[in-house]
C-alpha cells in the first residue's frame, strides 16, 4: 500500500549532524549497548551496537520502510514529509506536535504520540535533548541582574505552561505536567511524563563534541553504504579511544 501510494513507513533524522547521534543512541541503548561506560571507557565495539546500526541500515535498504533520502534528513525534513501525509511514523521532538496540529496542517487531529518501541534488550530508550539558559561571565553587573530576571521569568510556571501549550516545548517543572489544561490540549505530554524524566544523556565527557563528530562520520558512512556496518563500528571505537586517551 505504501509503495502504491508513495507513502513512507518511518522517517527520522539521518543526515550527518548532531541529530543523527540522538537517533543512533536510542537504537544503541535499546539494543543493550552504549558508547562509554560509567568510567568513560569506550565500549561501543559491542555485538549489540553492531546489531543496532545494522537495524538502522536495514530499515532503509532491506525492509524499505525508510526512504534512502533519510540520510539527508534533519528534524524539519522529516516533519515536512510526515506533515504532508507522506509517512506513517516519524521520530522527532515534542515541538513537532504544535506544527502537525496547526490549522494549516493537512493531518491536524489525525496524529498520535507514543514512546519509541523497545529493542531486543526489552528496554525503551529516548535521548535527552533541550536548550539551556546561561549568563555570559563577561557581562556587566547590570546585565547579569537583568539576565537573572529574564531566566527567572522564562523558567516560571506560567511561562513553561504557555510554551508547552503553544509551542509543544516540554516543561522542566514537574508541576506543569499536572496542569489540567495541558492534559486536555496535549495529553501525550502528561502520559509520557516518565519517558521525559528518564531520557538518557548522550556520552558524558568533556570531549563530547569530538566524540560526536566521530559518531556522525561512521554512522552516516554505514547508512550511505560507504562502509560495512561492522567496520564502521570498529573504526568508530578506535577513533573514540584515541580521543578519550588524550
Q: Under CATH, domain 2-129+200-244 is a member of which superfamily?
A: Periplasmic binding protein-like II (3.40.190.10)
Per-residue pLDDT of the chain (246 residues; tens, 9 = 90+): 556 678 999 999 999 999 999 999 999 999 999 999 999 999 999 999 999 999 999 999 999 999 999 999 999 999 999 999 999 999 999 899 999 999 999 999 999 999 999 999 998 999 998 889 999 999 999 999 999 999 999 999 999 999 999 988 889 999 999 999 999 999 888 888 888 888 999 999 999 999 999 999 999 999 999 999 999 999 999 999 999 998
What pLDDT, on a 0 to 100 scale, did the predictor assign at position 246?
A: 86
Over the stretch 86-104, which tens digit does the pLDDT of each residue have? 999 999 998 999 999 999 9
What pLDDT, on a 0 to 100 scale, did the predictor assign at position 198?
A: 86
- Residues 161, 184: contact at Cβ < 8 Å? no
Over the stretch 207-229, which tens digit does the pLDDT of each residue have? 999 999 999 999 999 999 999 99
- Residues 176, 158: contact at Cβ < 8 Å? no
Query: Residue 184 and residue 115: Cα distance in Å, rounded?
Result: 19
Helix ranges (H only) for 62-186 are 75-83, 96-100, 141-154, 157-167, 180-185
pTM score over 0.85: yes
Where are the chain's structural domains?
Answer: 2-129+200-244, 141-197
Do β-strands 8-11 and 87-90 pair in parallel, antiparallel, or remain unpaired? parallel
Amino acid at each position: 500500500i505504501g509503495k502504491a501510494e508513495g507513502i513512507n513507513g518511518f522517517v527520522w533524522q539521518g543526515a550527518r549532524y548532531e541529530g543523527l547521534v540522538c537517533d543512533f543512541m536510542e537504537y544503541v541503548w535499546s539494543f543493550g549497548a552504549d558508547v562509554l561506560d560509567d568510567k568513560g571507557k569506550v565500549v561501543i565495539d559491542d555485538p549489540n551496537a553492531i546489531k543496532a546500526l545494522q537495524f538502522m541500515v536495514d530499515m532503509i535498504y532491506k525492509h524499505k520502510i525508510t526512504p534512502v533520502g533519510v540520510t539527508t534528513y534533519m528534524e524539519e525534513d522529516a516533519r515536512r514529509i510526515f506533515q504532508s501525509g507522506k509517512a506513517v511514523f516519524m521520530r522527532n521532538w515534542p515541538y513537532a506536535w504544535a506544527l502537525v496540529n496547526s490549522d494549516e496542517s493537512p493531518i491536524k487531529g489525525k496524529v498520535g504520540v507514543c514512546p519509541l518501541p523497545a529493542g531486543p534488550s526489552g528496554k525503551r530508550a529516548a535521548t535527552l535533548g533541550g536548550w539551556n539558559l546561561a549568563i555570559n561571565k563577561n557581562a556587566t553587573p547590570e546585565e547579569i541582574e537583568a539576565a537573572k530576571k529574564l531566566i527567572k521569568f522564562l523558567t516560571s510556571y506560567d511561562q513553561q505552561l504557555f510554551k508547552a501549550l503553544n509551542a509543544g516545548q516540554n516543561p522542566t517543572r514537574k508541576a506543569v505536567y499536572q496542569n489540567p489544561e495541558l492534559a486536555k490540549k496535549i495529553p501525550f505530554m502528561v502520559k509520557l511524563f516518565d519517558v521525559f524524566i528518564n531520557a538518557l544523556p548522550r556520552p558524558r565527557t568533556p570531549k563530547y563534541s569530538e566524540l560526536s563528530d566521530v559518531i556522525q562520520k561512521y554512522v552516516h558512512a554505514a547508512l550511505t553504504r560507504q562502509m560495512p556496518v561492522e567496520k564502521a563500528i570498529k573504526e568508530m571505537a578506535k577513533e573514540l579511544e584515541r580521543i578519550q586517551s588524550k
